[in-house]
Amino acid sequence: MIEVPRGHIQVIAGCMFSGKTDELLRLLRRAEIARRRILLVRPTIDDRTEAEVVRSRSGAAYGSTSVVDPTEIETLAKDAWADMIAIEEAQFFPASLVPVVERLADAGRTVILSGLNTDFRGRPFGPMANLMAIADGVTSLTAICTVCGDEATRTQRLIDGRPAGADEPVVVVGGLASEMSTPRRETYEARCRAHHELP
């Protein structure tokens, strides 16, 4: 009987400012020491830093490849002979990411994903809920509430200093300022349940 290598799916989830990217990059540095062949990908929609690097707010960085469609990840993993695939900002990918991740794990690869578990409304974000459901392990991270200093599990979107309404778009690429006659200043904060506001 031929033994198939065992795959593994690990999800790192939490609100903004909870250290998801730092945790992902920490795991990749450990995997490098173990001489794992690593592929780190991110969605092209995430254009906050240069496309070929994932960079955390603390300054940690790791080389990456931007992809549009989740099926590209399988091709890249095969071409790179990667046995560990890391996916940053998984919430921005479509639902088709879920079967791709399952196929990679079924083929014996380790897949580590990081992303926002909920959007600014407090609802499941993209494929994250399904990814957490199929994961072999989930690391849930929290931040510090900017209002009271308690544990924060929510992401608060602010527009010109006020909470964004429920009718605002979930994903804002590059902000809305370029599309409006009067620019709006959008910021995000980590908030606890008691101080998360959704007008």
Burial class of residue 141, CB neighbours in 10 A (0-12, 13-18, 19+)? middle
Residue 175's pLDDT band, with cuts at 50, 70 and 90, is very low
The domain boundary residue, chosen from 104, 124, 143:
143
Let me know if residue 3 belongs to a domain.
no
Let me know if residue 199 belongs to a domain.
no
pLDDT in tens, 17-29: 999 999 999 999 9
Residue 132's pLDDT band, with cuts at 50, 70 and 90, is very high
| Active site members | 89
Q: Find the domain containing 173 and state its range.
A: 151-191
Let me know if residue 48 belongs to a domain.
yes
Residues 119 and 135 in one domain: yes
- The rounded distance, in Å, linking the Cα atoms of 70 and 172 is 20
Residues 56 and 120 in one domain: yes
Pair of tokens at residue 93: 């990918």
Residues 171 and 86 in one domain: no
Residues 139 and 180 in one domain: no
With contact defined as beta carbons under 8 Å apart, do 77 and 55 qualify? no
Number of domains in the chain: 2
Residues 139 and 157 in one domain: no
The reported pLDDT for the residue numbered 5 is 62
Residues 171 and 119 in one domain: no
pLDDT in tens, 65-97: 999 999 999 999 999 899 999 999 999 999 999
Residues 138 and 156 in one domain: no
Average pLDDT over residues 114-141: 97
